Amino acid sequence: MVVSTYSENKTTEETSEKMGANKGSKKSLAYQTKDLNLWYGTDHALKNINLDINEREVTAIIGPSGCGKSTFIKTLNRMVELIPVVKISGDILYRERSILDKSYKVEDLRTNVGMVFQKPNPFPKSIYENIAYGPKIHGIRNKKVLDEIVEKSLRGAAIWDEVKDRLNENAYGLSGGQQQRLCIARCLAIEPDVILMDEPTSALDPISTLKVEQLVQELKKDYSIIIVTHNMQQAARISDKTAFFLNGEVVEYDDTNKIFSTPSDQRTEDYITGRFG
Protein backbone atom coordinates (compact mmCIF):
# COMPACT_ATOMS: atom_id res chain seq x y z
CA MET A 1 0.00 0.00 0.00
CA VAL A 2 2.69 2.39 1.03
CA VAL A 3 4.71 1.61 -2.07
CA SER A 4 1.87 2.18 -4.51
CA THR A 5 0.81 5.50 -3.00
CA TYR A 6 4.42 6.49 -2.94
CA SER A 7 4.74 6.15 -6.70
CA GLU A 8 1.42 7.93 -7.25
CA ASN A 9 2.58 10.71 -5.10
CA LYS A 10 5.86 10.97 -6.87
CA THR A 11 4.15 11.94 -10.09
CA THR A 12 2.17 14.70 -8.44
CA GLU A 13 5.30 15.85 -6.74
CA GLU A 14 7.09 16.00 -10.07
CA THR A 15 4.30 17.99 -11.68
CA SER A 16 4.24 20.46 -8.87
CA GLU A 17 8.00 20.79 -9.11
CA LYS A 18 7.67 21.51 -12.78
CA MET A 19 5.01 24.09 -12.12
CA GLY A 20 7.25 25.67 -9.54
CA ALA A 21 10.08 25.68 -12.05
CA ASN A 22 7.91 27.33 -14.66
CA LYS A 23 7.11 30.12 -12.30
CA GLY A 24 10.78 30.36 -11.55
CA SER A 25 10.16 31.50 -8.01
CA LYS A 26 10.66 29.93 -4.65
CA LYS A 27 7.47 29.35 -2.72
CA SER A 28 7.06 31.59 0.24
CA LEU A 29 5.70 30.59 3.61
CA ALA A 30 2.01 30.67 4.37
CA TYR A 31 2.41 29.85 8.02
CA GLN A 32 5.19 29.64 10.52
CA THR A 33 4.75 28.54 14.11
CA LYS A 34 7.37 29.29 16.70
CA ASP A 35 7.51 27.36 19.96
CA LEU A 36 3.75 27.12 19.91
CA ASN A 37 2.32 25.78 23.16
CA LEU A 38 -1.33 25.43 24.01
CA TRP A 39 -3.13 24.43 27.17
CA TYR A 40 -6.76 23.52 27.77
CA GLY A 41 -6.83 24.50 31.42
CA THR A 42 -4.00 22.38 32.80
CA ASP A 43 -3.98 19.96 29.87
CA HIS A 44 -0.90 20.64 27.74
CA ALA A 45 -2.32 19.95 24.27
CA LEU A 46 0.37 21.38 21.98
CA LYS A 47 4.05 21.28 22.88
CA ASN A 48 6.71 23.42 21.20
CA ILE A 49 5.35 23.22 17.68
CA ASN A 50 7.73 24.64 15.10
CA LEU A 51 6.40 24.23 11.60
CA ASP A 52 7.00 26.12 8.38
CA ILE A 53 4.10 25.66 6.01
CA ASN A 54 4.55 26.45 2.35
CA GLU A 55 2.03 28.25 0.24
CA ARG A 56 0.25 26.46 -2.61
CA GLU A 57 1.00 23.05 -1.23
CA VAL A 58 -1.00 20.47 0.63
CA THR A 59 0.30 19.97 4.13
CA ALA A 60 -1.15 16.98 5.90
CA ILE A 61 -1.35 16.65 9.67
CA ILE A 62 -1.57 13.04 10.77
CA GLY A 63 -1.56 11.32 14.13
CA PRO A 64 -3.72 9.24 16.45
CA SER A 65 -6.86 10.59 18.14
CA GLY A 66 -6.15 13.15 20.81
CA CYS A 67 -2.67 13.97 19.52
CA GLY A 68 -3.53 17.65 19.06
CA LYS A 69 -3.86 17.75 15.29
CA SER A 70 -7.36 19.28 15.32
CA THR A 71 -6.31 21.67 18.05
CA PHE A 72 -3.35 22.72 15.95
CA ILE A 73 -5.37 23.47 12.83
CA LYS A 74 -7.98 25.35 14.85
CA THR A 75 -5.23 27.46 16.34
CA LEU A 76 -4.21 28.59 12.86
CA ASN A 77 -7.46 30.56 12.43
CA ARG A 78 -7.87 31.12 16.18
CA MET A 79 -11.07 29.09 16.19
CA VAL A 80 -9.66 27.41 19.26
CA GLU A 81 -10.46 30.59 21.18
CA LEU A 82 -14.14 29.62 21.17
CA ILE A 83 -13.16 27.32 24.02
CA PRO A 84 -12.90 29.61 27.02
CA VAL A 85 -10.09 27.91 29.01
CA VAL A 86 -7.49 27.96 26.24
CA LYS A 87 -4.04 29.46 26.90
CA ILE A 88 -1.46 29.92 24.15
CA SER A 89 2.24 30.77 24.22
CA GLY A 90 4.79 31.10 21.45
CA ASP A 91 3.89 32.63 18.14
CA ILE A 92 2.09 31.92 14.89
CA LEU A 93 3.04 33.91 11.84
CA TYR A 94 0.64 34.05 8.94
CA ARG A 95 2.34 35.64 5.96
CA GLU A 96 5.00 36.86 8.36
CA ARG A 97 2.58 38.61 10.65
CA SER A 98 1.77 37.40 14.15
CA ILE A 99 -1.87 36.35 14.36
CA LEU A 100 -1.69 36.26 18.14
CA ASP A 101 -0.95 39.96 18.17
CA LYS A 102 -3.77 42.01 19.68
CA SER A 103 -3.90 44.26 16.65
CA TYR A 104 -4.67 41.34 14.33
CA LYS A 105 -8.44 41.19 14.04
CA VAL A 106 -9.62 37.61 14.07
CA GLU A 107 -12.35 38.44 11.51
CA ASP A 108 -9.63 39.68 9.17
CA LEU A 109 -7.58 36.51 9.65
CA ARG A 110 -10.53 34.24 8.97
CA THR A 111 -11.32 36.10 5.78
CA ASN A 112 -7.90 35.07 4.49
CA VAL A 113 -7.94 31.64 6.06
CA GLY A 114 -11.04 29.60 5.30
CA MET A 115 -12.01 26.44 7.08
CA VAL A 116 -13.76 23.20 6.16
CA PHE A 117 -14.97 21.16 9.08
CA GLN A 118 -15.10 17.51 9.99
CA LYS A 119 -18.84 17.22 9.63
CA PRO A 120 -20.46 19.00 6.69
CA ASN A 121 -22.06 22.05 8.26
CA PRO A 122 -24.11 23.94 5.69
CA PHE A 123 -26.50 26.57 7.00
CA PRO A 124 -30.19 25.63 6.93
CA LYS A 125 -30.59 28.00 3.99
CA SER A 126 -30.69 27.59 0.23
CA ILE A 127 -27.62 26.44 -1.67
CA TYR A 128 -27.29 29.94 -3.10
CA GLU A 129 -27.56 31.62 0.30
CA ASN A 130 -24.95 29.26 1.72
CA ILE A 131 -22.38 30.38 -0.83
CA ALA A 132 -23.41 34.04 -0.78
CA TYR A 133 -23.16 34.14 3.02
CA GLY A 134 -19.45 34.90 3.17
CA PRO A 135 -19.42 37.61 0.50
CA LYS A 136 -22.51 39.17 2.08
CA ILE A 137 -20.98 39.47 5.53
CA HIS A 138 -18.04 41.17 3.89
CA GLY A 139 -20.35 43.75 2.44
CA ILE A 140 -21.01 42.59 -1.11
CA ARG A 141 -24.63 43.46 -1.91
CA ASN A 142 -24.66 43.60 -5.70
CA LYS A 143 -26.84 40.73 -6.92
CA LYS A 144 -24.88 40.31 -10.16
CA VAL A 145 -21.57 40.09 -8.35
CA LEU A 146 -23.05 37.61 -5.89
CA ASP A 147 -24.39 35.48 -8.74
CA GLU A 148 -20.93 35.36 -10.27
CA ILE A 149 -19.27 34.48 -6.99
CA VAL A 150 -21.79 31.70 -6.38
CA GLU A 151 -21.21 30.14 -9.78
CA LYS A 152 -17.44 30.51 -9.62
CA SER A 153 -17.25 29.01 -6.14
CA LEU A 154 -19.52 26.09 -6.97
CA ARG A 155 -17.52 25.40 -10.13
CA GLY A 156 -14.32 25.67 -8.10
CA ALA A 157 -15.61 23.01 -5.75
CA ALA A 158 -16.71 20.80 -8.67
CA ILE A 159 -20.33 20.77 -7.62
CA TRP A 160 -21.84 23.32 -10.02
CA ASP A 161 -23.23 20.79 -12.48
CA GLU A 162 -24.97 18.90 -9.69
CA VAL A 163 -26.70 21.90 -8.13
CA LYS A 164 -27.06 24.56 -10.81
CA ASP A 165 -30.76 23.77 -11.32
CA ARG A 166 -31.61 23.76 -7.63
CA LEU A 167 -29.75 26.75 -6.24
CA ASN A 168 -32.80 27.88 -4.31
CA GLU A 169 -33.40 24.56 -2.62
CA ASN A 170 -32.35 23.93 0.94
CA ALA A 171 -28.78 22.71 1.28
CA TYR A 172 -29.97 19.99 3.65
CA GLY A 173 -31.48 18.19 0.66
CA LEU A 174 -27.98 17.41 -0.64
CA SER A 175 -26.13 14.20 0.15
CA GLY A 176 -23.36 14.25 2.75
CA GLY A 177 -20.64 14.32 0.11
CA GLN A 178 -22.35 17.10 -1.79
CA GLN A 179 -22.82 19.04 1.44
CA GLN A 180 -19.12 18.83 2.14
CA ARG A 181 -18.23 20.08 -1.34
CA LEU A 182 -20.82 22.82 -0.84
CA CYS A 183 -18.97 23.78 2.35
CA ILE A 184 -15.73 23.87 0.38
CA ALA A 185 -17.43 26.09 -2.19
CA ARG A 186 -18.73 28.30 0.61
CA CYS A 187 -15.17 28.60 1.82
CA LEU A 188 -13.91 29.50 -1.67
CA ALA A 189 -16.52 32.25 -1.89
CA ILE A 190 -14.57 34.45 0.51
CA GLU A 191 -11.56 34.01 -1.78
CA PRO A 192 -9.21 32.86 0.94
CA ASP A 193 -5.46 32.42 0.71
CA VAL A 194 -5.26 29.36 2.94
CA ILE A 195 -7.85 26.62 3.40
CA LEU A 196 -7.80 24.64 6.62
CA MET A 197 -9.49 21.26 6.43
CA ASP A 198 -10.23 19.38 9.62
CA GLU A 199 -10.76 15.73 8.65
CA PRO A 200 -13.02 16.78 5.78
CA THR A 201 -13.76 13.26 4.59
CA SER A 202 -14.19 11.44 7.88
CA ALA A 203 -17.99 11.56 7.59
CA LEU A 204 -18.09 10.70 3.88
CA ASP A 205 -18.41 7.51 1.84
CA PRO A 206 -15.44 6.36 -0.31
CA ILE A 207 -16.74 7.86 -3.55
CA SER A 208 -17.40 11.25 -2.00
CA THR A 209 -14.01 11.02 -0.33
CA LEU A 210 -12.39 10.46 -3.70
CA LYS A 211 -14.14 13.51 -5.11
CA VAL A 212 -12.99 15.69 -2.24
CA GLU A 213 -9.44 14.38 -2.63
CA GLN A 214 -9.41 15.17 -6.33
CA LEU A 215 -10.75 18.58 -5.48
CA VAL A 216 -7.94 19.18 -3.02
CA GLN A 217 -5.41 18.32 -5.73
CA GLU A 218 -7.11 20.83 -7.99
CA LEU A 219 -7.32 23.55 -5.34
CA LYS A 220 -3.68 23.48 -4.32
CA LYS A 221 -2.81 25.26 -7.57
CA ASP A 222 -4.40 28.40 -6.14
CA TYR A 223 -4.59 27.85 -2.42
CA SER A 224 -2.41 26.70 0.42
CA ILE A 225 -4.13 23.76 2.02
CA ILE A 226 -3.56 22.36 5.48
CA ILE A 227 -5.48 19.17 6.02
CA VAL A 228 -5.90 17.13 9.16
CA THR A 229 -6.58 13.52 8.40
CA HIS A 230 -7.03 10.34 10.28
CA ASN A 231 -6.41 8.40 7.13
CA MET A 232 -2.74 7.82 6.38
CA GLN A 233 -3.34 6.66 2.81
CA GLN A 234 -5.17 9.92 2.22
CA ALA A 235 -2.21 11.90 3.50
CA ALA A 236 0.10 9.86 1.26
CA ARG A 237 -2.17 10.35 -1.76
CA ILE A 238 -2.82 14.05 -1.61
CA SER A 239 -0.19 15.88 0.40
CA ASP A 240 3.19 17.35 -0.38
CA LYS A 241 4.34 17.56 3.20
CA THR A 242 3.26 15.61 6.23
CA ALA A 243 3.57 16.38 9.90
CA PHE A 244 3.17 13.50 12.32
CA PHE A 245 1.72 14.57 15.67
CA LEU A 246 1.91 12.47 18.80
CA ASN A 247 0.80 13.55 22.28
CA GLY A 248 0.85 17.21 21.30
CA GLU A 249 4.33 17.11 19.79
CA VAL A 250 5.50 17.06 16.21
CA VAL A 251 7.46 13.84 15.92
CA GLU A 252 8.41 14.31 12.32
CA TYR A 253 7.73 16.84 9.60
CA ASP A 254 9.03 16.27 6.13
CA ASP A 255 8.13 15.66 2.52
CA THR A 256 5.28 13.20 2.33
CA ASN A 257 7.41 10.86 0.18
CA LYS A 258 10.06 10.75 2.82
CA ILE A 259 7.65 10.25 5.71
CA PHE A 260 5.93 7.34 4.03
CA SER A 261 9.02 5.65 2.61
CA THR A 262 11.92 6.29 4.94
CA PRO A 263 10.67 7.92 8.13
CA SER A 264 13.51 8.91 10.37
CA ASP A 265 11.71 8.36 13.65
CA GLN A 266 10.76 4.88 14.86
CA ARG A 267 7.40 6.18 16.19
CA THR A 268 6.47 7.55 12.76
CA GLU A 269 7.24 4.21 11.20
CA ASP A 270 5.22 2.37 13.84
CA TYR A 271 2.27 4.65 13.22
CA ILE A 272 2.25 4.59 9.43
CA THR A 273 2.74 0.83 9.32
CA GLY A 274 -0.28 0.50 11.59
CA ARG A 275 1.45 -0.74 14.69
CA PHE A 276 -0.61 1.70 16.77
CA GLY A 277 -3.15 4.50 16.38
Choice from 45, 146, 157, 183 touching another protein (CB under 8 A):
183
187 binds another protein (CB under 8 A): yes
Nearer to another protein, 77 or 239 (CB): 77
* Segment contacting another protein by CB under 8 A, of 29-37, 41-49, 77-85, 93-101: 77-85
Query: Could you tell me the maximum CA-CA distance found in the chain, to the nearest angstrom?
Result: 56
181 binds another protein (CB under 8 A): no
Choice from 2, 19, 137, 145 touching another protein (CB under 8 A):
137
- DSSP for the chain reads -HHHHHHHHHHHHHHHHHHHHHHTSPPPEEEEEEEEEEEETTEEEEEEE--EEETTSEEEEE-STTSSHHHHHHHHTTGGGGSTTEEEEEEEEETTEETTSTTS-HHHHHHHEEEE-SS----SSBHHHHHHHHHHHTT---HHHHHHHHHHHHHHTT-HHHHGGGTTSBGGGS-HHHHHHHHHHHHHTT--SEEEEESTTTTS-HHHHHHHHHHHHHHTTTSEEEEE-S-HHHHHHH-SEEEEEETTEEEEEEEHHHHHHS-SSHHHHHHHTTS--
* Segment contacting another protein by CB under 8 A, of 38-46, 120-128, 242-250, 252-260: 120-128
Nearer to another protein, 187 or 228 (CB): 187
CB of residue 156 vs another protein: minimum separation in angstroms? 15
Are the CB atoms for 199 and 230 separated by under 8 Å?
A: yes
Choice from 11, 25, 107, 206 touching another protein (CB under 8 A):
107
Nearer to another protein, 187 or 272 (CB): 187
CB of residue 95 vs another protein: minimum separation in angstroms? 16
* Segment contacting another protein by CB under 8 A, of 3-11, 94-102, 184-192, 205-213: 184-192
104 binds another protein (CB under 8 A): no
Choice from 32, 48, 98, 111 touching another protein (CB under 8 A):
111
Which parts of this chain interact with another protein (CB under 8 A)? 77, 79, 82, 84, 107-111, 114-115, 117, 119, 121-124, 133-134, 137-138, 172, 183, 186-187, 190
